[in-house]
Homo-oligomer: A and B are copies of this chain.
Amino acid sequence: MPVVLAANIDNGGILLSLFLILASAKILAELFERLKQPAVVGEILAGVLIGPSVLGWVEPSKLIEVLAEIGVIFLLFNVGLETKPQSILKVGRKAIMVGVLGIILPFVAGYWISVLWFGSTVEALFIGAALVATSVGITARVLGSLGLLDSEAARIILGAAVIDDILGLLILSVVSGVSKGELNYLALAGTTSSAVIFTAGVAVLGAVLITRLAPRIRSLHISNPFFNFGLLLCLGLSVAAMYMQVAAIIGAFLAGMALSEATEGNVKMRKLTSGVTEFLVPFFLVNIGMQLNLQIFADSSVVGFAVLITLVAIVTKLVGCGIGAYGSGWRFSAQVGIGMVPRGEVGIVVAQIGLSLAAISDKVFGSVLFMAIATTLIAPPFIKMLFTRTDVDEDIHLSDIVSRIG
């Protein structure tokens, strides 16, 4: 009996942690929905709760990390399916402005504040790079659940996130090079241009090619041909993106966008795809929460710095991106700005690279982790508020006041 038991418990333990992740995420999502707060916040807090910081029921692992990665890949693939290439190209100029200004301000501010606080230039460079990160998955998730992915502000955020990703990786490469005392400008130019060519090429040509291929896909003999083709395109372009020095989620987003027209109205394909997404996204969100290390609060100097860079992270993105989106009213600027605030998994990865290069200390790592997760928790309620308090509501509110005065 013990052998069978042992063989069972081995995988049983893994299955148990997957169950705990999913169950805690759904229970806290339900709670937050009842409180009229975004479900994502509940799901990230579920990770904090069951992770090493509080209950310690589930340890972060490679398996959970991979499930989380596939989760955010499918999340962006789904967002891509809702996004027509033209709708992004139309807001292209504004997206570039938002992306670029949303990088310069956080980087410069993050760098100088760190220099003033620590004096170490390399550490300050990494903190600046971490403040540049944008976790578009979180914003996309909130807007998707509100059915607002096709709003102009949402499209600008998506476009700016793509630009941020490429520029962010460029900055990270430079910072990594500086920290190791080696910087190859030729290699840098090479990878940057291949990243740009890949992204622009797939964005422009992808949909055209897929539309031409559609009749062939439709006539495949396997069941659910578009869904299966979509799975392969999503994973295939995610892998290709990684090898082209772009984040996997950008590849997945481009794959979705390429399929958006050909699969419009294909309810079955969309439902099958969102089944995969709904199953995997909780692993992405819980995994972010599990990274939080509350032990940093034992050291008051760390807490001070963590709170300071969190505030800087929020203000600089809000202002930088807000200015980039300038021209359509303050509400519009605020929508775009707040949508770019979450640093999520991207900020965590930058911090991890800094730690692995011994360029940042454990304490700074803890602070950056705190900043990445705090911005990710703080933004969603404001995203929801700014996107859903419509002008109609304001009119009612105003007329209400007017009638009271009258």
CA distance A276 to B277 in the complex (A): 8
* Cβ of A277 to closest chain B Cβ, rounded Å: 8
Q: Please give, as numbers and ranges, the residues of chain B lying within 8 Å of A271 by CB-CB distance.
A: 268, 271-272, 275
In the assembled complex, A12 has its CB within 8 A of some CB on chain B? yes
Q: Are A7 and B278 touching (Cβ within 8 A)?
A: no
Q: Which residue of B lies closest to A169 (CB)?
A: B4
Q: Are B353 and A7 touching (Cβ within 8 A)?
A: yes
Q: Are B239 and A69 touching (Cβ within 8 A)?
A: no
Q: Are A1 and B33 touching (Cβ within 8 A)?
A: no
- Taking CB atoms and an 8 Å cut-off, the chain A residues in 212-270 that contact chain B are 220-224, 227-228, 231-232, 235-236, 238-239, 242-243, 245, 248, 268
Q: Are A177 and B1 touching (Cβ within 8 A)?
A: yes
In the assembled complex, A9 has its CB within 8 A of some CB on chain B? yes
In the assembled complex, A297 has its CB within 8 A of some CB on chain B? no
Cross-interface CB contact of A248 among B5, B11, B221, B227, cutoff 8 Å: B11
Q: Please give, as numbers and ranges, the residues of chain B lying within 8 Å of A209 by CB-CB distance.
A: none
* Cβ of A288 to closest chain B Cβ, rounded Å: 16
CB within 8 Å of B: which residues of A?
1, 3-5, 7-9, 11-12, 14-16, 18-19, 22-23, 26, 29-30, 33-34, 39, 62-63, 65-66, 69-70, 73, 145, 169, 172-173, 176-177, 180, 184, 187-188, 191, 220-224, 227-228, 231-232, 235-236, 238-239, 242-243, 245, 248, 268, 271-276, 278-279, 349, 352-353, 356-357
Q: State whether A245 and B4 are in contact (beta carbons under 8 Å apart), knowing that A222-B26, A228-B278, A279-B231 are contacts in the complex.
A: yes
Q: Which residue of B lies closest to A179 (CB)?
A: B3
Cross-interface CB contact of A1 among B3, B173, B242, cutoff 8 Å: B173
Q: State whether A235 and B4 are in contact (beta carbons under 8 Å apart), knowing that A12-B242, A242-B12 are contacts in the complex.
A: no
Q: Which residue of B lies closest to A172 (CB)?
A: B4
Q: Which 6 residue pairs spanning A and B have beta carbons closest together?
A: A275-B275, A272-B275, A33-B221, A12-B242, A271-B271, A19-B235
Q: Are A30 and B221 touching (Cβ within 8 A)?
A: yes
Q: State whether A242 and B8 are in contact (beta carbons under 8 Å apart), knowing that A1-B187, A30-B222 are contacts in the complex.
A: yes
Q: State whether A220 and B30 are in contact (beta carbons under 8 Å apart), knowing that A1-B176, A274-B275, A275-B276 are contacts in the complex.
A: yes
What are 17 contact pairs spanning A and B, CB under 8 A? A1-B188, A1-B245, A4-B169, A7-B349, A8-B242, A9-B243, A11-B242, A14-B66, A15-B239, A19-B238, A22-B235, A26-B228, A26-B231, A227-B278, A271-B271, A272-B272, A272-B274
* Cβ of A275 to closest chain B Cβ, rounded Å: 3
Q: Which residue of B lies closest to A65 (CB)?
A: B11
Among A9, A231, A273, chain B packs the most CB atoms within 10 A around the CB of A231
* Cβ of A141 to closest chain B Cβ, rounded Å: 11
